[in-house]
């Protein structure tokens, strides 16, 4: 495969946006997969506030299964290429990784400047809004298969720190993502469907800035027309060829 690197310099300002596609190459099933683990349950049962209220034990069994799956796979060359780019830019450059993925594979690959806009599979918080504001969220790799855990402060239900369908993104995280994109020279989207809002519209912020917009995806996403440069194929194969530091 003959690809020219993207020509990123140490003083460049880069935002990388990643979606489910990069983790699918490590073996993480997504709810869009016909044979994925989401097919066992209706999305409304396991990934909405209403589903959690109706059956929190089912939701926690489901997310415990997702935690097990995420721990059973390894980051791929695409994850490592993104981490290498962050190291290449170092203190001289500006780098932000905005990810829709909750599986922790970017962190395990060595990425540090991460904005997880959809939350984290391995964090837990109180379901009570008022209590949760005080406690925040915390790291949690436990498998809650015997029932939903209870909050140590108020005794109410705990929930995965995930942005479910019908919920808004964390305002602070989304604001930081938009700010980084509005100040970047290069916006690189990897493994995204281009159909999940508001993240699908982030490319328009980069375009308004006059940034270079590059897409690496297995197939053309819904917003492919918003990118000036498109590379179709596996991110684990393409990213090491396109990015410096690998």
Catalytic residues: 118
Peptide bond into 198 cis (omega under 30): yes
What does DSSP say about strands 119-126 and 137-139: parallel, antiparallel, or unpaired? antiparallel
Residue 118: count of CB within 10 angstroms of its CB: 21
CB-based contact 65:78 (threshold 8 Å): no
C-alpha distances in Å from residue 94, one per residue of 13, 85, 171? 5, 11, 22
**Tokens coding 29:** 């099933």
Q: Is 210 left (phi over 0), alpha (psi -120 to 50) or beta?
A: left
β-strand partners of 143: none
Buried b / exposed e across 47-77, counting CB within 10 Å, b at 16+? Answer: bbeebbeeebeebbbbbbbbbeebeebebbb
CB-based contact 134:153 (threshold 8 Å): yes
Cβ neighbourhood burial of 2 (10 Å; 0-12, 13-18, 19+): exposed
């Amino acid at each position: 495969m003959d690809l020219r690197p993207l020509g990123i310099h140490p003083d460049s300002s880069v935002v990388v946006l990643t979606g489910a596609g990069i983790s699918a190459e490590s073996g993480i099933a997504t709810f869009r997969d016909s044979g994925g683990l989401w097919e066992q349950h209706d999305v409304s049962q396991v990934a909405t506030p209403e589903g959690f209220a109706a059956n929190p034990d089912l939701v926690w069994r489901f997310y415990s299964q997702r935690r097990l799956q995420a721990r059973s796979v390894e980051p791929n060359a695409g994850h490592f290429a993104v981490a290498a780019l962050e190291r290449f830019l170092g203190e001289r450059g500006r780098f932000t990784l905005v990810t829709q993925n909750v599986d922790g594979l970017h962190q395990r690959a060595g990425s540090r400047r991460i904005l997880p806009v959809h939350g984290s599979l391995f964090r837990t918080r109180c379901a009570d809004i008022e209590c949760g504001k005080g406690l925040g969220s915390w790291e949690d790799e436990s498998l809650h298969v015997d029932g939903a855990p209870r909050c140590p402060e108020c005794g109410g239900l705990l929930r995965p720190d995930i942005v479910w369908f019908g919920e808004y993104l964390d305002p602070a995280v989304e604001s930081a993502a938009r700010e980084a994109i509005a100040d970047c020279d290069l916006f690189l989207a990897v493994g995204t469907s281009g159909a999940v809002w508001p993240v699908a519209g982030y490319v328009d912020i980069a375009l308004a800035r006059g940034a270079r917009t590059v897409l690496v995806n297995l197939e053309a996403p819904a917003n492919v027309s918003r990118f000036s440069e498109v590379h179709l194929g596996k991110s684990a194969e393409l990213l090491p060829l396109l990015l410096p530091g690998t």
